[in-house]
Amino acid sequence: MAAKTQVLLIEDDKSIASFITTSLSGNGYRVIHALDGKEGLSLAASNCPDIILLDLGLPDIDGCEILKELRTWCSVPVIVISARTREQDKVNALDLGADDYIAKPFGTAELMARIRTSLRHSYTASPEKVYRAQGLEIHFEKRLILLNGEEIHLTQIEYQLLTLLAENSGRVLTYHYIMNAIWGPYMDSNNQILRVNMANIRRKIEVNPAQPRYVFTEVGIGYRMLENESI
């Protein structure tokens, strides 16, 4: 699990951030770090992390406000790491959508255990789902994509895009909907980055990208994926 997991750390204390980054990297996680709330929201929108570690006492925006904003468009697990130890602070954070709360100081073993638990809950929140259509298989829980039995390797953003379309197969998803779901409301409305990623996906899964079998363009509107045969 760790090798495929990207962690966004939003923490302004550089010594604590260094400790956490070293601990996570040593356990196989990939870490991106933001020093304040504004940068944290931007990185959450542009990198689609698997889990977020959020300090409450940030220099520009209170962590509870960041949590509230994240939950308007982001459902990934959020673990609050804070020096605030009052029970009410913990209740407030959990009520706003935090998945867990760790009071500073804490040890590496506790942090790793909390991360594993939060990720396990997010991966098993729904039953095993599989997309199958004309030789293409997407095993959502295993994060595995097969084309005629051969594994297809996608970047994280490409995987997020393809699974979003697969989960809504048969439906047209607008450019705006996809941009907001993948990159969040802080991404520029220009959909060029979406078009580039979709072109990369087609090169990897389509025999002829100019005549796609799986992902179709609805000109001027968005994209639609071939209906899931396994439903």
Q: Which tokens belong to 93?
A: 């954070």
- Can you tell me the distance from the alpha carbon of 133 to that of 150, in angstroms, rounded to the nearest whole number? 14
Q: What does R_g of the chain's alpha carbons equal in angstroms? A: 19
- Can you tell me the distance from the alpha carbon of 137 to that of 87, in angstroms, rounded to the nearest whole number? 46
- Can you tell me the distance from the alpha carbon of 206 to that of 39, in angstroms, rounded to the nearest whole number? 36
Identify the pLDDT of residue 128: 53
Contacts of 227 (CB under 8 A, 6+ apart): 133, 169, 170
Q: 130-225, what's its fold?
A: Arc Repressor Mutant, subunit A (1.10.10)
- Can you tell me the distance from the alpha carbon of 91 to that of 82, in angstroms, rounded to the nearest whole number? 13
Identify the pLDDT of residue 85: 81
pLDDT 10s digits, 22-71: 999 999 999 999 999 999 999 998 888 989 999 999 999 999 999 998 98
Q: Compute how many other C-beta atoms are within 10 angstroms of the C-beta atom of residue 124.
A: 10
Cis peptide before 127 (omega within 30 of 0): no
Identify the pLDDT of residue 4: 66
Instruction: Give the domain ranges of the chain.
Output: 2-123, 130-225
Q: Compute how many other C-beta atoms are within 10 angstroms of the C-beta atom of residue 58.
A: 22
pTM: 0.59
13-22 contacts at long range (C-beta below 8 A, 24 or more positions apart): 13/55, 16/55, 16/104, 20/53, 20/81, 20/111
Identify the pLDDT of residue 127: 47
| pLDDT under 70: residue ranges of the chain | 1-4, 121-128, 186-189, 231
3-state SS assignment for residue 197: helix
Identify the pLDDT of residue 111: 93
CATH: 1.10.3720.10, 3.40.30.10, 3.40.50.2300, 3.40.50.720. Which one for 2-123? Answer: 3.40.50.2300
Task: Give me the amino acid identity at 186.
Answer: Y
Identify the pLDDT of residue 122: 64
Print burial letters for 199-216: b (CB count within 10 Å at least 16), e (below 16): ebbbeebbeeeeebebbe
Identify the pLDDT of residue 177: 83
Identify the pLDDT of residue 141: 79
Identify the pLDDT of residue 21: 95
- Can you tell me the distance from the alpha carbon of 225 to that of 231, in angstroms, rounded to the nearest whole number? 14
Enclosing H/E stretch for 164: helix 156-167
Q: Which tokens belong to 129?
A: 């789902």
Identify the pLDDT of residue 126: 47
Q: Beta 130-133 vs 136-139: how paired, if at all?
A: antiparallel
